[in-house]
Every structure is written in C-alpha cells, then in structure tokens.
Structure 1
Amino acid sequence: MSNSYVSERPAGADAPAPSVTGWSGVVIFAGIMMLCLGVFQVTEGGVALYHEEYYLVTSSGSLLQMDYAAWGWTHLLFGLVSLAAGAGVLLGKLWARIIGVLIAFLGALLHFLFLAAAPVWCTILIGMDVLIITALCTHGRDVRRS
C-alpha cells in the first residue's frame, strides 16, 4: 500500500485568486452598449436595404447622396461585428476587447467631428467612449474572472 497523497485540488489552487475590481461592471456596460449598438446598426441597415424611402427627408431628394444598398450593407456588417464583439466582451475574449476599443475610438472620433453641431451631447458621448476604452484596455480580463 502506497503512502502517497493524491490531492484532488487542481494545480495552483493554493495561489490566491486574482482580485476582481469594480471596473468589471464598466466592462459589462461596454459589452451591453456594443450589443445595443449592434442591434441599432442591424436595424438601420435592414431598413436601408428593404425600405429605403424611409430615409428620404426632403421633397427634392435625399439626406445623403449615396447608394442606400451600400449604406445598408455597411450598417448591417458593422452591426453584426458590434454584436459579436459585445458578446465576446461579456465572455472576456481578447479579440472582442480589441474590436470594442476600435469601435469606441471611431465613435469618439465621429462625435468629435460633430462637436460644433451638438456640443453637450457629443461631449457626453466622447466621455462615454473614453470610459469604455479605459475599461476594456485596463480591466477587460475582470469579466472572465467574475
């Protein structure tokens, strides 16, 4: 009979668990916001593809001088990428955090361009984009641990 002790604890179980910070809530917020953005973009893309008269705003023409099919497909693809990235952020995936940072950066850049048109709203959105970028870059792994 052997006196060897077989531990049922996994290797490294004596090491303390990494601490989860309050930032995991902000990372979850970022993931949920990306999911919402994805739903909005997919809806906007579908409307542009199947009911393009919806975006006609003047009697003399349209708001934008571009092909609604191209606009619809662009929004549809962007929405699907946002949906996938939002779900990935909630699962703690690195690739999703990278895409999330890119989406938030593009959002902040776009809001900066429209700062003169709506200064208060764009400032709020830029601040939210910076918060999302900070949360995803510095505390994105916290979601996986929680």
Structure 2
Amino acid sequence: MTTTPTPAPSSRPGARQEWGSGGITFAGVLMTVMGVFAILEGIVALSKDDVIYQRIGDYIFKFNLSAWGWIHLILGILVLVTGLGLLKGAVWARYTGVFLASLSVIVHFFWLPYQPLWGLVAIAIAVFIIWALCTSWDTATSRI
C-alpha cells in the first residue's frame, strides 16, 4: 500500500496567492498614507510659514522650495488616488502604482538634502510598494 505525501502548508498552491493579495492591500494602504504625507509636504513647502526646509550641504540637484512644493503636491494627489484605486481592486492602479512608486523613489532621492530621514523612509516604503505590486502579478491581476 503506497501513500501520497501531503504537501507542506507553505507549498499549497493558494498560500502564495493569498499572501500576495494581502501584500497588494497593504501596498494600497501604504500608497494612500504616503500620498497624504506627500500632499502635506507639498503644502508645507508652498506655505513657507512656520516650517523651514534647509538644504544640507551643497547638492547638485537644486530646485526652489515652491517647485518642490508643487512636485510633492501633484505626486501626492496621484499616489493617493492610485492607492484608493488599489484598495478598490482596479487593475489600472497596479500598473500606475508601480510607476508612481518608482517616480516617488526618484523624487525622494532628490529630496534627501532637505529631509534625509524622511527621504530614506519614503524610499524604503516605495520600494516595498513596488515589490508588493510586482509579486504574484498573474494571480493578482486575475483576481482583480
């Protein structure tokens, strides 16, 4: 009498898909929060009232504070809308999310001299968003 071994729980066919879909939901939440933070960064940079952004050192990529404010405000609105689209399950939001998270990495790299700690945190969050949206791409797009 031969018996077929049962697969380990981690090798179940649906295990990775369930985990991947949870990552997409978490990426949607992160994009929504990151979008709100970017909107607030943009508003603060445009208002020039109480918070003073001061550039650390001499950096080759220089923009004035109003330009940075508009960049963060527009990017924040787009990231917020895309994050909400991800939470709704829209397929377009996955493609747009990867693009905007990549753009966010670039923008926050250029923003490092103004806010180094937040710039590094935002880059790490954006990289996680890209990873979460790209893992198990086939299963997630067929689910949505």
Work out whether the TM-score is over 0.5.
yes
The equivalent residue for 2:92 is 95
How far apart, in 2, do the equivalents of 1:41 and 1:141 lie?
A: 31
Listed one character per residue, the Cα deviations across residues 79-116 of structure 1 (whole Å, up to 9, x for unaligned) are 000000000000011221111111233355678999xx
Seen in structure 2, the aligned counterparts of structure 1 residues 50 and 109 have a Cα distance that, compared at 3 Å, is closer
How far apart, in 2, do the equivalents of 1:112 and 1:51 lie?
A: 22
Shift of 1:128: 2.0
SS of 1:55's equivalent? coil
How far apart, in 1, do the equivalents of 2:35 and 2:42 lie?
A: 10
The equivalent residue for 1:34 is 31
How far apart, in 2, do the equivalents of 1:81 and 1:21 lie?
A: 27
> Of Structure 1 and Structure 2, which has the larger fraction of its residues in helix?
2
The equivalent residue for 2:53 is 55
Code of the aligned partner of 1:91: K
Shift of 1:38: 0.2
Seen in structure 2, the aligned counterparts of structure 1 residues 110 and 45 have a Cα distance that, compared at 3 Å, is closer
The equivalent residue for 1:131 is 131
Code of the aligned partner of 1:131: W
Identity %: 31
The two structures, once aligned, show a CA RMSD in angstroms of 3.9
The equivalent residue for 1:7 is none
Structure 1 unpaired stretches of 5+: 1-18
When Rg is computed on C-alpha atoms for both structures, the one with the higher figure is: 1
Structure 2 unpaired stretches of 5+: 1-13
**TM-score, scaled relative to structure 1:** 0.61
**TM-score, scaled relative to structure 2:** 0.62
